[in-house]
Amino acid sequence: MNSAHDHTLTWLLESQLAPHVDAFMLHLFDCRYASNTINNYLAGLTHFAHWLSQCNIDIKNINETLIQQFLNDHLPHCDCEQPVFHDRKDLHAALGHLLVLLRAHAVIADPSIGLTPVDEELRRFDDHMNHVRGLAPKTRKHYIAIIRCLLFGQFADRAVEICAIKPDDIRKFVANQSARCRVSASISAPISALRSYFRYRATLGDQVHQLIGVTSFPANWQQAMLPKTLSNNEVDRLLAALAYDGTAARRTAAIVHCALDLGLRSSEIANLGLDDIDWCAATIRLRGTKGRREDVMPLPAATGQAIADYLKFERPVTSNRAVFVRNVAPRDQPVGPDLIRKSIRQAYARAGLPYTRSHLLRHTLANRLLAGGSSLKEVADVLRHRSLNTTLVYAKLDSKNLTAVALPWPGSAL
């Protein structure tokens, strides 16, 4: 910590947080934060400790709400003895680490669930989505947020009685949700959440057919548009743009090849582990896929070379077994799907391509397979679709076979 803050350190050492300072510092060191960042986080913790003492707040009451109170109410009007640390971004990060530490040592409780009837209902619904329907965590989180809005608006802290919800209530709720959507098609997500919840209630014996009946999806002609893909020229430009010098150049190249050559989703790339690659057999195993299956796929030479170059020449020294790991603190952690998508967006930009969606590379693989003579069944196998109906959208890209079955234009010469 710099000298300007030395005399305020006594606030921390005389506070309720004093017994946890060493563990806090060790946690930051283990995450391999820079010394300047650690000093800033310690200064932020000192300011927070002083505020706790001034307000006579017990350490057991620390939670996300209290931290927001500190950041939103105290920080803008702070009149603490100077100097104190005021950087909101670093304060928020430091106190986030404090929550992790205190919960790991059972000093404070995990975020409560089940305290109200609505919370308990959401917990049971989440268990159903997880263990019965096998939905991904991100999907479940989104559905829970939607259903929480519905149930809290209907019942507040009272018991949940599904028979008390009327069709008009659902119509009004959908209308309110629709008003928040930037495009009309976005209302499909809340409607999916509602229908999923009502189907769950139906499995419990509730009469919810009238509620399901008013949750109709807006018109969406799925076969009206051609799937967007990269042209051969654009693919060449993208691959050429991967050859550059940068701190994450080889990681970006490996990520793009995984998406373009194997059609992997962002989450599947992020979940790849070192033990999932069989270099001798030239195969790669996919875990935690959208369908919650394990799939083994052949590893193309270009993809394998890109991954190998990253592992040998760029991947940080780490004990983590993930293929792609963070280059910045907190280190020794795998990257997430957001970083995968960001890397692909940056590759587009470097190639001068006006695209942003990482899923575009998956569509491009399907188009290239069809152009090479693969059947729709083979495309479905590569993309790991549960149903061939999902793959039918690519039939419109099969120009070679479509030409063979096309009828002459009316009135034209045969």
Does the annotation mark 74 as catalytic?
Answer: no
Hey, which residues does 148 pair with through a beta bridge?
none
Cα atoms in the 13 Å half-sphere on the side-chain side of 40:
14
Q: For residue 252, how many other CB atoms are within 10 A of its CB? A: 24
Catalytic residue among 142, 290, 345, 350: 290
Residues 92 and 295: their CA atoms lie apart, in Å, by 40
Q: Which residues of 197-236 are buried (b: 16+ CB within 10 A; e: fewer)?
A: bbebbeeeeeebeebbebbeeeeeeeeeeeeebbeeebbe
Q: Which of 108, 100, 109 is nearest to 28 (CA)?
A: 100
Q: Provide the edge-to-edge strand list for the sheet that holds 295-298.
A: 277-278, 283-286, 295-298
Catalytic residue among 20, 265, 326, 384: 265
Catalytic residue among 74, 237, 345, 359: 359
Contact 288, 384 (CB under 8 A): no
Residues 388 and 367: their CA atoms lie apart, in Å, by 16
- Scan for tokens 């399901």, then name that residue: 212
Catalytic residue among 315, 362, 368, 384: 362
Q: Mapping DSSP to helix (H, G, I), strand (E, B) and coil, where does residue 335 land?
A: coil
The H or E element spanning position 296 is strand 295-298
Does the annotation mark 394 as catalytic?
Answer: yes
Residues 129 and 135: their CA atoms lie apart, in Å, by 6
Q: For residue 368, how many other CB atoms are within 10 A of its CB? A: 19
Q: Which residue stretches of 180-229 are H helix?
A: 188-203, 209-213
The H or E element spanning position 311 is helix 301-313
Does the annotation mark 359 as catalytic?
Answer: yes
Catalytic residue among 128, 315, 326, 385: 385
Q: Mapping DSSP to helix (H, G, I), strand (E, B) and coil, where does residue 54 land?
A: helix
Residues 235 and 240: their CA atoms lie apart, in Å, by 9
Does the annotation mark 362 as catalytic?
Answer: yes
Does the annotation mark 265 as catalytic?
Answer: yes
Residues 241 and 256: their CA atoms lie apart, in Å, by 11
Residue 273 DSSP class: B
Hey, which residues does 295 pair with through a beta bridge?
286
Residues labelled catalytic: 265, 290, 359, 362, 385, 394
